[in-house]
Structures are given as C-alpha cells and as structure tokens.
Amino acid sequence: MDSAQAASAVLLAVGAVFSTWLLSVLCGSKRLMREGLTRRVCGLLVVVAVSAYACFGAQVALTVVPQWFRTTAAVNEVFLAFRFSAGVCLASANLQIAFERYYVIVVGKNTPAIYTTAFIVHSVLTVLVLVISSETFNYRRPGGTWQPYVFLVASVQFMCVAFPGIIFCYFRTYRHIISATKEIASIAAGDEGMDVVSRARQIKRQVLVTCIGLTLSFCISYTPESVLFIYCIFSPRWEVPEWMDVAAFLFVALDAVVTPSLVTVLHHGLREELGSAIAGSSRILPQARTTASSK
C-alpha cells in the first residue's frame, strides 16, 4: 500500500469512526431528535458512516488482493453499484437538509411529508436501476451493451435533480434572510436593535456557509470519480492510470471527514451535546483515578 492509498484508508477509517460517534451523540439526545433538521443530519451521517466503512474495506481489498477484482465479477459489481448508490444517497440527504432549511426559514413550517416521501422514492428507484445495470468485470464502468448507458442516465438524471434543488433552496433561503436583515435594520434602534441585526446577520452567514460547505464538499469530492466514470463509459478500451484511480479515491475518502466536520461546526445543538459529553468525561476521569488510588 503506497502513501496515497494509506492516506485514503486513514481518512475513511477516521470518517467512519467520527460519523458513528456523532450519530451516537445525536441519537442519545431526545431534545435534538425532535427537530426535523437533526433527523435529516442523522440520515446524512448514516450514509457517510456506512459508505466510509465499506470503502475502507474495498480499499484494503484492492491493495491486498487486487487479483480478486480482476477475476471475480460479483466483487466489481458490488463495488460499482455501492459507490454510486452511496453518492445518490449523499446527494439525497443534502437535498433534504437544504429543503428542510428552506421550509423552516422561508415558509415557516416543516417540510411536507409528500416531498420527503418523493425524494426517498426517487432515490430508491435510482439505486435499483444502478444495481440492475452494474454487471461488469471492471469496477470503473458497467459492462455489457446497454448497461453503461442506463447506468449513466440514471446517475445524471438524479444529479440534475439534486444539485439544482440544493442551489435553489439555499439561494432562496439566503435571499430571504438578506431581506429580513434589511427590514430589521430599518426599524431597529439603539443597542438592543443592533443586537437583533447582529444575530440576523449571523444567521445569514451560517446559511451561506452551509450552502457553500456541504454543497462544495460533495461536488469536489465526487467530481474526479464522476469524470473518470464518464470517460470510461465512452472509452471502454482505456485503462485508468493507477495514480488517477488513487487520486479519485482520495477525494471520496476526504469527504468522509469533511462532511461530519461541517455538520459539527454548523449544528449548534450538536456542538452543545458534544461539549457536555466531553465535559462529563473530563469530570468522570479524575473521579475514577481518585477511586482507583484510594483502593
């Protein structure tokens, strides 16, 4: 295993453990789990954790037993279908978070169940198409005659729904907060009024950071993988250079750490729970040492 592959494996392992820890903290808080945003963040972290664990195993297998991938179709098919299914689920989770923020901040109510259900059904159908058309001996592209194009269409149509949806929701939310900030500034007076304006601007910045952070993290991490996939579809005889393969996998591995880190920074309730958990551990540890020494 070279240094780049080792870095990917480390990032995936750290991301998997980190996401699992965040999930345990969120699921342990009944107060936070009542919020629609928290439930959607949990869905995103579940996808990140499962994807990181599975890709870590695949990275180890590609390094230790590469001949397994050269001779066994099932391994390549599972890896191909899983990678793109994980991408679909990540895009779906990001879209649901963006939609939830739009409805809560702009519309002033929870996301209608019909939209949430529609997103889930669309994601499931896309994943099923990807699984059905993943017959291959090369985990970089589907084999067969019709499978590559069905796989490509299924992937592209989902991204054409997810990315414009994310951009639209965050753009409208951001515009709404700008408008609300200007309105507050026009009627606010004195120090108390300035405090209100300051808090409104802070919310505006947080939404902007959410838009840029989560969306760019997903785009940057999966763009190299997507470009290689599309090129392999239309150039079936071309073999991906090893350094390109490793680099694309490194970008995907990086998202396993970046996404939960952004969630931690942007979710105020989660930061409070993490602070309480860390503070509780720091209090328990000295007590345990004192008890042990007294014995």
Residue 53's pLDDT band (cuts 50, 70, 90): very high
Task: Measure the CA–CA gap between 119 and 234, rounded to whole angstroms.
Answer: 30
Structural contact between residues 197 and 185, judged by C-beta atoms closer than 8 angstroms: yes
The sign of the dihedral angle between the CA atoms of 276, 280, 281, 283 is: positive
Residue 122's pLDDT band (cuts 50, 70, 90): very high
Given this model, what pLDDT does residue 190 score? 53
Residue type (1 letter), 243: W
Given this model, what pLDDT does residue 81 score? 86
- Give 237's DSSP letter: T
Given this model, what pLDDT does residue 185 score? 66
Q: Is 225 left (phi over 0), alpha (psi -120 to 50) or beta?
A: alpha
Given this model, what pLDDT does residue 20 score? 93
pLDDT digits (tens, 9 = 90+) for 71-112: 888 888 888 888 888 888 888 888 888 888 888 888 888 888
Residue 18's pLDDT band (cuts 50, 70, 90): very high
pLDDT of 61 higher than 90: no
Given this model, what pLDDT does residue 13 score? 92
Average pLDDT over residues 19-48: 86
pLDDT digits (tens, 9 = 90+) for 198-235: 666 676 667 667 667 777 887 888 888 888 888 888 88
Contacts of 156 (CB under 8 A, 6+ apart): none
Task: Measure the CA–CA gap between 8 and 20, rounded to whole angstroms.
Answer: 18
Given this model, what pLDDT does residue 124 score? 92
Given this model, what pLDDT does residue 273 score? 77
Average pLDDT over residues 119-125: 91
Contacts of 248 (CB under 8 A, 6+ apart): 224, 225, 228
Residue 166's pLDDT band (cuts 50, 70, 90): confident
Residue 285's pLDDT band (cuts 50, 70, 90): very low
Task: Measure the CA–CA gap between 200 and 187, rounded to whole angstroms.
Answer: 13
**What pTM value is reported for the model?**
0.80
Residue 123's pLDDT band (cuts 50, 70, 90): very high
Residue 196's pLDDT band (cuts 50, 70, 90): low
Given this model, what pLDDT does residue 19 score? 92
The sign of the dihedral angle between the CA atoms of 214, 216, 217, 222 is: positive
* 251 CB-contact burial (10 Å; exposed 0-12 / middle 13-18 / buried 19+): middle
Contacts of 9 (CB under 8 A, 6+ apart): 1, 56, 59, 60, 253
Distances (CA, A) of 84 to 140, 167, 244, 283: 11, 21, 18, 44
Given this model, what pLDDT does residue 280 score? 59
pLDDT digits (tens, 9 = 90+) for 169-191: 888 888 888 787 777 666 655 55
Average pLDDT over residues 260-266: 83
